[in-house]
Chains A and B, each alone.
Chain A
Amino acid sequence: MTATAYDFAYVRKEEEPILAPPRRESGIVAWMRTNLFSSIGNTVLTLAGIAFILWVVPPVIRWAFIDAVWNGTSREDCVAPGAGACWAFVEAKFAQFMYGRYPIDQRWRVDLTGILLLIGLIPMAIPRIPYKKENAFYLLVIFPILAFWLLVGGFLGLPYVETSLWGGLLVTLVVAITGMVVAMPLGVLLALGRRSQLPVIRFLSITFIEFWRGVPLITVLFMASVMLPIFLPPGVNFDKLLRALVGVALFTAAYMAEVVRGGLQAVPKGQYEAAQAMGLGYWQMMRLIVLPQALRVVIPGIVNSFISLFKDTSLVLIIGLFDLLGIVQLNFADANWASPQTPLTGYVFAAFVFWLFCFGMSRYSIYTERRLQTGYRR
């Protein structure tokens, strides 16, 4: 006799529901076991971390929010014992932090310049939007002219505003953006010079780049503010902000040159040879074949240089210009607002503004890096 299927006592006809994973292996408990308490050492680290957070975070929150003075008209509101951050100070001085002493009835010009900048920058930053070449032309040529007319004025119906009245975020952005716009083409030329076949050009480029990269920005700014007037013919005297701009631009150009050089080296030799085989001359080859590929690769590097330039603009306060940090610091001396909490509040505010800009740009740099890498990612 052979056993047939229905001889068995029990045959399962349908699928049994899947059991939930063991409690300890799923959910928040398991996550904590693997990520926080996987070993004795890890547990100690976690506990130390929690202790650190408990030590730091509550006082900071108390200072910044709970005990903070949000509204007020003078130092009287901020000197109360136990008072936290004096946000009323920031609120009262906010316009100054943004524009400096730019005449109040002319501030729309600054706002308009900002809007014009955004109009150029936003489509430039979004890869999908076409007309990049025209866009770059607007940003590098048309916008600077418009911005100069709007901010400085003195012709075409706008009254002249001295640069010594400028301040705050306006100066920070002007120094950073002008530095970048000037340094970009200069940096490309220097990078090409450094890889040139012509020994004199190469030597000059290397000397220039290594010199500016070897000295601190402060000495460059000192040099620009003290020595530039000595270098120029007697009688020629130009404005402090412009002098700082010259220094910053030359300094940044050297760093930019190294970034661009990285991109030039990343273009395969075959591209150069193919371009030459097609009968292109040096400048045609660079303009049409090499630079478009090289500059694409170094967008993250350019953004990173811009971030460090943006942070470095704060150094102009040492030569007596009032950028965001400079103007915040200047206002500590205001007798109406002098309180023990004022400096800390001011610095935290300035730090937050700088942080917002830099963090935003670094995220953008990471985003482009990822986008450019798609072809190679495993």
Chain B
Amino acid sequence: MAIEESAPRPDKGYSLFYDPKVRGFVFQALMVVLLVALVSWIATNTYTNLRRANIASGFDFLGARSGFDISQTLISYTTDSTYFRAFLVGLLNTLLVAGLGVVLASVVGLLVGIARLSKNWLVAKLATIYVETLRNIPLLLLLLFWYKAVLSVLPSPRQSFTLPFGSFLSNRGLTLPATQFQPGAGWTLLAFIAAIVFVIGLAFWANRRRMATGKPFPTLWVSLVALIGFPIAVFYATGSPLNLNFPELRGFNFVGGFNIHPEFLALLLGLSLYTASFIAEVVRGGILAISNGQTEAAYALGFRPGRTLRLIIIPQALRVIIPPLTNQYLNLIKNSSLAVAIGYPDLVSVFSGTVMNQTGQAVEVIAITMGVYLLISLITSAFMNWFNSRIALKER
């Protein structure tokens, strides 16, 4: 027992009641007992309630036929698919909108954050207005606004706005020309992958050479040529194996083309513009945290403002920015669940909505949904922590 091993007892007036170790032990044991009692109470209640309502338990329902359709699917899905397939469709839709949202929000946030610090009064004020407006409005309102007040009141396909490259914007969403790959298109893809490998190798080589000899190498331009020029050259060399299927107006809707649903557009725009306003503040805070001496030193060395920002300020600011930025990314991922309000078929809307209503297995469905979000959050924060430790100041 822990009590015997502790420090020698003072001889008189000592009571076990006042021993911090004993107290801690008793307190914790009490906590565990209470928790176990609470959990078993909930478990018994759940069991009785489910028995009464005649709801099956277990995860067998995942293999059953779903019988409902989903408007946007990244993988093949029909009404004959299983509930598990529906779950995957929802999960992929969540990941799609969250992934694109993170990229878009980062770009817009970075630009707005820098703009708020601009010496240009007008630009700084516009950026401030953007941040202060969006940050103080609920995201749900923003989503509904985009969906119901902007995208839904666009004209019908017959009077749709014509955009460049044969695309149309209407209340059915954004209709783009669809790309149809012909046999032989694989070469272009291969060329693109080869270009990526080449660029990574080039970056390593250029970095090592600069470290060794101090000679810079125009990595950016060479990379751009390799990434864009080489695949295009291969594309034409193999005889342009790509057809563009332009949307055509037939009857009341478009035929052909690739349609981006208004729900997706509204969610992506709302989510990224909202999060961008928070990221802008994070970026601004990070840049302000870098002492002005760094800028002055860079100017003294002859750097121009653009390069000072890119080479001196931002790399240092990143260290301050990454942890709060991680929080914003996590928020964005979790907020993508608001899709349910505008009917975008994400994980919550498909699984916690339709599937739960059809099967009635609330406990399992909500547990799976929460588990998935927990997992996504943990993976994201693990990745960002790894990235953070890579760029963190190495104190020797």
Contact = CB atoms under 8 A, between A and B. Distances in A.
A is bound by B: yes
Interface of A: 34-36, 38, 42, 45-46, 49-50, 52-53, 197-201, 204, 211, 213-219, 222-223, 226-227, 229-234, 307, 311-315, 317-318, 325, 329, 332, 340, 343-344, 347, 350-351, 354-355, 358-359, 362
A316 B341 CA distance: 11
Nearest to B25: A198
B374 to A, nearest CB: 4
B348 interface: yes
A36 B373 contact: no
B132 interface: yes
Given A343-B149, A347-B149, A216 B144 contact: no
Pick from B120, B123, B340, B374 the residue with the most CB of A within 10 Å: B120
A211 B374 contact: yes
A60 B137 CA distance: 18
Given A198-B27, A200-B31, A214 B352 contact: no
A286 to B, nearest CB: 15
B354 interface: no
Contacts of B123: 45-46, 49
B370 A223 contact: yes
Contacts, number: 149
Interface string B2-25: 000000000000000000000010
A198 B373 contact: no
Interface in B346-387: 348, 352, 356, 362-363, 366, 369-370, 373-374, 377-378
Contacts of A359: 132, 136
A218 B24 contact: no
Interface stretch (B46-54, B162-170, B187-195, B218-226): B46-54
Interface in B322-360: 334-335, 337-338, 340-341, 348, 352, 356
Given A201-B28, A222-B352, A227-B366, A325 B140 contact: yes
A312 B49 CA distance: 31
A223 B122 contact: no
Contact of A198 (B28, B49, B145): B28
Pick from B31, B149, B352 the residue with the most CB of A within 10 Å: B149
B100 interface: no
9 contacts: A200-B32, A213-B377, A216-B334, A216-B373, A226-B362, A230-B50, A311-B137, A315-B338, A344-B145
Contacts of A52: 126
Contacts of B24: 197-198
B138 A219 contact: no
Pick from A199, A204, A315, A344 the residue with the most CB of B within 10 Å: A315
B148 A318 contact: no
B378 A344 contact: no
B118 to A, nearest CB: 8
B48 A344 contact: no
Contacts of A234: 45, 48-49, 52
A237 B340 CA distance: 26
B180 to A, nearest CB: 37
A12 to B, nearest CB: 41
A36 B32 CA distance: 65
B292 to A, nearest CB: 12
A35 B138 contact: no
Nearest to A49: B122
A285 to B, nearest CB: 13
B151 to A, nearest CB: 11
A317 B337 contact: no
A347 B144 contact: yes
Interface string B137-159: 11111001100110001000000
